[in-house]
Amino acid sequence: MDWWQAIILGIVEGVTEFLPISSTGHLTIIQKLMGMPLDDPSLTAFTAIIQIGAIAAAIIYFWSDIWRVLSAWWLGLWRSSERKKFEYKYGWAIILGSVPIAVTGLLFKDEIETVLRSLWFVAFGLIGWSVVMWLADKYGQGKRTEKDTTWRDTLIIGIVQCMSLIPGVSRSGATISAGLLRGFDRVTVTKLSFFLGIPALVAAGILQAATNYHLVGGGIGWGNTLLAMAVSFAVGYASIAWLLKFVASNNFALFIWYRVIIGVLLLGLLSLGVVTAI
């Protein structure tokens, strides 16, 4: 990987991580167009590790909210009087909602890193989940706010988040769809998507860095990996600000149509043999 390729991939990660269009799917497509072998373990590790940059941007952007929930949760562990606060209950709800994807990701780690890297999965994931997003956007009532969040909500959303392990589905697309169908408004469910994504993506990135550091060093290279991570941080921060402003007054139709168009184009390229799945 050349330095300019690392920058492009960092930009793609930063832009797509929080938009409901699948960051892994887009990275996989761009990596393939750059002529990179999708089944290369160092490339798989690179893809997971650079997500830490975008997630760090989310942590900084939402730090006041995160600190408010974390501090209330911590105090609630030691003081019974603090356990009546919404933030304490919300903290537990986020923890519970983060468990399903962690368990599923560990159980199917090998399949995720090999079989699911195929561009066929990306194409069908982009198109198939667009139907779910359309239904959620159309029929979601959008009346519930953050204060209405319960552990049942985050558990259900967390279970649906597991679908994002299929490239093309999109983690934010999965969580936002589930949240809309649970009746939350678009801004609330978008923020909830960030909060549920932080533990999962940080853990995945750290796990890849710890277990495959030698593969990254001998393959992609840590210089390019850290460069892409830094770029994804800067671009990701801007992407968060834009998305929250956008969903405040718009539905998700733009993203749905984009997903379908990209998915159909990818299916066409695969069917004609212009590109190979792996």
pLDDT of 212 > 80? The answer is no
Residue 116 belongs to some domain of the structure: yes
* Residues composing the chain: 278
When pLDDT is cut at 50, 70 and 90, the band that residue 277 belongs to is confident
pLDDT of 108-142, one tens digit each? Answer: 878 887 778 789 999 999 999 999 999 999 998 88
In a domain, 234, yes or no: yes
pLDDT in tens, 23-71: 888 998 999 899 888 888 888 888 888 988 999 999 999 999 999 999 9
Is 278 domain-assigned?
Answer: no
Answer whether residue 277 is part of any domain: no
- The average pLDDT across 154-161 equals 94
pLDDT band at 8 (very low <50, low <70, confident <90, very high): very high
CB 217 within 8 A of CB 270: no
Amino acid at 174: A
User: What range does the domain containing 66 cover?
Assistant: 3-271
- What is the model's pTM? 0.89
101 in a domain, yes or no? Answer: yes
Residue 78 lies in a domain: yes
Q: Is the dihedral of CA 263, 49, 15, 195 positive or negative?
A: positive
pLDDT at 213 over 80: no
pLDDT at 111: 82
Number of domains in the chain: 1
Centre a 10 Å sphere on the Cβ of residue 206 and count the other Cβ atoms it contains: 13
Confidence of residue 241 (pLDDT cuts 50, 70, 90): very high
